[in-house]
Structure 1
């Protein structure tokens, strides 16, 4: 990349001779180097999870949130730069509020994704800004049912049944492909997602981590909230047992 990109990666508005925008690719690398984020669309809701690697023993558990509420029924999780995640979450909340004030009803996720995608794409079009260094997962329950999307640093967005971004995403995607979310409840989804996050985490390289998980479903009355502590503890314990059983079989 460096041999081709030299001189063409100084501005986000500059194309290389072969039509690439290197700063967008660099932003994607920043997202890929962060802890994994997973989204799972179940038959009755959506589960979001983020692997928060503990870079210091002094960090307060539960204080540094990586998943934000965009609206009552919409949650946003991302892998990559934390500041970019919070900025985009705030912008998405403003767009959701603007939609509600204009049309008098909660925003549908597809309409919200069109606005977020356009906003992220704008940051790849002008020399005075840089792309967002995050890959973003957005989940919701709207009038069409559970929905799940991913927004890339380029501004492109895609609808998914299940998705993973960040470090370890390939292993996570392989595990997600084995699941049938259309027959799974969100409570079952919480346990499966916890198992996958524990599976992809590398203790040798990353050390300790904290699992942050939220859900939207019938048990939350359609609101995006954090998974209750007792259920999260139960899910993590089940995940550790499953990993130990797999190691014993090997």
Structure 2
């Protein structure tokens, strides 16, 4: 009984370490990310591909209103998992910093510098009283000013990680296993999109429903988000579409 009351005491503060060095509120924020729809990022030789999963809560819901992939700048995209409202706040931080970099240095911000600015903002909410950590994780990716594709993940603790391919959100461990087995450094944008789709399908009986999903590609030509029709067609072309029997 005493042990439970002690843990509850550490639960109440975001800036109080438990005796074993844990910040429970940060760990709970990570759990919020795991309960979100899965999101996949793949770095290719040309740029970065993002694909997010998810389903509509109702046939009356407008699919375009679900925003989980965002344009941060002409050369940077951001995909999220976890609480969408928290993610939108962090996307705004990235967008403002991208514009600051352009005004200050008259050139696009590097993906790494942009990621560290966002993770610095996230980290402040793990040590401030009266605030809670962000219940969202982001994938920031794009093409650096020198033409190098980069892909980073942000964690609710404020830690950045760089990846060649990564999954966040629900079923991320299983999807990551698929990516590790099938990733190829020589992928182009179309190959990266196919890999991301197949990775998401691997935890859904090998099929996907494009409704509620989003996809975007960032390469030397800039940021481009696929339309709903394009995503439907791509999923169908790769034989991943759900059939009536599946449904």
TM-score (norm 2): 0.89
Cross-structure match for 1:28:
30
Question: Is 1:122 the equivalent of 2:124?
Answer: yes
Which is further off, 44-53 or 86-95? 44-53
How far, CA to CA, are the matches of 2:234 and 2:5 in structure 1? 47
How far, CA to CA, are the matches of 1:3 and 1:169 in structure 2? 33
Q: CA deviation at 1:211?
A: 1.6
Residues 5/161 of structure 1: CA separation in 2 closer, same or farther (3 Å cut): same
Question: Is 1:212 the equivalent of 2:198?
Answer: no
Ranges in structure 1 where 5+ consecutive residues have no aligned partner = none
Whether the 8 Å contact between 1:27 and 1:134 is mirrored in structure 2 is: yes
Whether the 8 Å contact between 1:40 and 1:148 is mirrored in structure 2 is: yes
Q: CA deviation at 1:167?
A: 0.6
Cross-structure match for 1:98:
100
How far, CA to CA, are the matches of 1:2 and 1:91 in structure 2? 37
SS at match of 1:46: strand
Which is further off, 169-178 or 229-238? 229-238
Q: CA deviation at 1:63?
A: 2.2
Whether the 8 Å contact between 2:201 and 2:240 is mirrored in structure 1 is: no
Whether the 8 Å contact between 1:131 and 1:153 is mirrored in structure 2 is: yes
How far, CA to CA, are the matches of 1:56 and 1:229 in structure 2? 17
Ranges in structure 2 where 5+ consecutive residues have no aligned partner = none
Cross-structure match for 2:139:
137
Question: How many residues are paired up?
Answer: 239
TM-score (norm 1): 0.88
Whether the 8 Å contact between 1:50 and 1:212 is mirrored in structure 2 is: yes
Q: CA deviation at 1:242?
A: 8.7
The one-character-per-residue Cα deviations of 1:124-178 (angstroms, maximum 9, x if unpaired) are 0101211010111111111251100000000001100000001111111111112
Cross-structure match for 1:7:
9
Whose helix fraction is larger, Structure 1's or Structure 2's?
1
Q: CA deviation at 1:199?
A: 2.4
How far, CA to CA, are the matches of 2:53 and 2:71 in structure 1? 17
Q: CA deviation at 1:54?
A: 1.8
Cross-structure match for 2:168:
165
How far, CA to CA, are the matches of 2:131 and 2:91 in structure 1? 18
Equivalent residue runs for 1:145-156 within 5 Å = 145-156=148-159
The one-character-per-residue Cα deviations of 1:8-56 (angstroms, maximum 9, x if unpaired) are 0101011111111000000000000010000000111110011123222
Cross-structure match for 2:69:
67
Cross-structure match for 1:223:
222
Q: CA RMSD in A?
A: 2.4
How far, CA to CA, are the matches of 1:37 and 1:94 in structure 2? 24
The one-character-per-residue Cα deviations of 1:167-217 (angstroms, maximum 9, x if unpaired) are 1111111111123342111012112211222222479xxx99522000012
SS at match of 1:164: strand
Q: CA deviation at 1:5?
A: 2.3
Whether the 8 Å contact between 1:161 and 1:181 is mirrored in structure 2 is: no
SS at match of 1:11: coil
Whether the 8 Å contact between 2:33 and 2:82 is mirrored in structure 1 is: yes
